Amino acid sequence: MLTPPPPPPVASPVRKGGFPWLAALMFLLLMGSMVVNLVLLVALAGDGGGSGLGGSTRYQEMLVDGESRADDKIVMLSVKGVIMDGVDGTARPGTFDSIRSQLRKIKKDDTVKAILLSVNSPGGGVTESDRIYNELKLFREETGLPIVALFGDVSASGGYYISMASDHIIAHPTTVTGSIGVISQFFQVSELMGKLGVDVETIKSLRSDSSESFKDIGSPYRPMTPAERKLLQGLISEMWERFVSVVAEGRKGKIPEQRVRELADGRVFTGPQALEVKLVDQIGYQEDAFAKCRELGKAPQAKVVRYKKEPSLTDLLTMSAHPAPPSLEEMLREVTFDSPRFLYLWTSR
C-alpha cells in the first residue's frame, strides 16, 4: 500500500515589525503639531500685544504714589531715550506707538483726572516727535484732561517739542533743556577715498534739461554742491519754522513768538535758566509734579499710577530672539548714521 505524500508546508505570514504602529504614531504627532499651530494662530489673532491680527495692548496698573484705594487716578506716561520708530528686526514698538496705545486706554477710563508726562530724552526723529506732539494735543482737546510735563536729566529738542502739548512744565534744577532747532548730518569721505585710490562711479537719472540731478544728494563719496546745500538748507529751515510755531503755540501768553525765534538757535539751558526765559513754568521735583496734576485735575486724593505692558504671546515667542532692548548707542546710530535723516535732536555727533 502506497503512503500518500506529506502535504506541502504552509508559509507563515510575514510580520512587518510593527510598521503600522510607527505610521500611526507619526500621524498622531503630525495632527498634534497642526492643532498646536492652529491654537497659536488663533491666539495671535486675539493677542493683546498689538502685534497680532487686530488685538490691543494690555496693561497692568502699577502704583507710584497715593493710596491704592483711591478712586481717582493720575497716569504717568514716560518718554525716555531717543524718540524714534520701532527698531528694524525687533518687536520693539516705537515711542509713538507706545504713547498712543496708552492714551487709548486712558480714554476708556473715566477715573483718570490728569496725565503726567515724564520726559527724559535728547529728542529724535522730526516726524516721530511731531506725531507724539499731535497725539497728545488731540488727546487733550478731546478729553479736556490736563497734562503736566516733568523734565528729567535731558529734555531737549524733540523732547521739548512733544512737551508743547502740555498745560504746565516742571523742570528739575539740574535739567538740560532747549536745543530748539533741526539737524541733519552726512559723512564725507571723498578725500580719504582719494588717498586710498578708491573711487565710486554713480549712474543716476538726470533733470529734464539733461543736467545733473539731486538723486544722490548727501552722498559721502563726493563734496556737496552749493545747489544741494541750498536745497537741504531750505528743508531744514522749513522744519525749523514748524518747531518755532509749535513752541510759540505751546507757550502762548508766556513767550512772544519773536522771543521764541531768538531762543531757537540750538542753545541749551539749565532748568533755572529755562525758567528765567519762560521755556518752563516751574522748578521742582516729582512730588511737585504730582501735586500740580492733582490741582489741575481737581482730584486732591488721586493716586498716581503707571502702566506696565503685560507680555503677550508674541512677546513670549520672540523673547529668545530679542532678549534685550537696544542700547542708547544703538538707538543713536539708528537715527544718525544708518541713513540721512532730519532730527529734532541734541547731539554732539
Express each pLDDT in 316-348 by its tens digit. 555 544 445 555 555 555 554 455 678 999 876
Residues 345 and 124: beta-carbon distance below 8 Å: yes
Terminal-to-terminal C-alpha distance of the chain: 118
Looking at residue 312, what DSSP letter applies?
P
Rounded Cα distance, 101 and 224, in Å: 42
pLDDT of residue 39: 56
What is the per-residue pLDDT for 138? Answer: 98
- Report the candidate in 152, 145, 114, 140 with the shortest Cα–Cα distance to residue 291: 114
| Domain-located, residue 312 | yes
133 falls within a domain: yes
Range of the domain at 279: 55-184+256-345
Q: How much is the pLDDT for 233?
A: 96
Q: How much is the mean pLDDT over the chain?
A: 84
What's the total number of domains in the chain? 1
- In a domain, residue 7? The reply is no
Active-site residue list: 157, 215
Low-confidence ranges of the chain (pLDDT < 50): 46-54, 88-91, 320-323, 336-337
* Closest by Cα among 117, 185, 130 to 157: 130
Is residue 82 assigned to a domain? yes
Cell of 2: 502506497
Is the pTM value of this prediction over 0.85?
no
CATH code where residue 312 lies: 3.90.226.10
C-alpha triplet 45, 50, 51: angle, nearest 5°: 65
In a domain, 169, yes or no: yes
Q: Is residue 38 part of a domain?
A: no
Flag whether 238 is in a domain: no
Give the model's pLDDT for residue 93: 60
Per-residue model confidence (pLDDT) at position 47:
47
Query: Do the Cβ atoms of 164 and 249 come closer than 8 Å?
Result: yes
Q: In this predicted structure, what is the pLDDT of residue 38? A: 65
User: What is the pLDDT, as a whole number, of residue 56?
Assistant: 64
Residue 154 placed within a domain: yes
Q: What is the pLDDT of residue 193?
A: 84
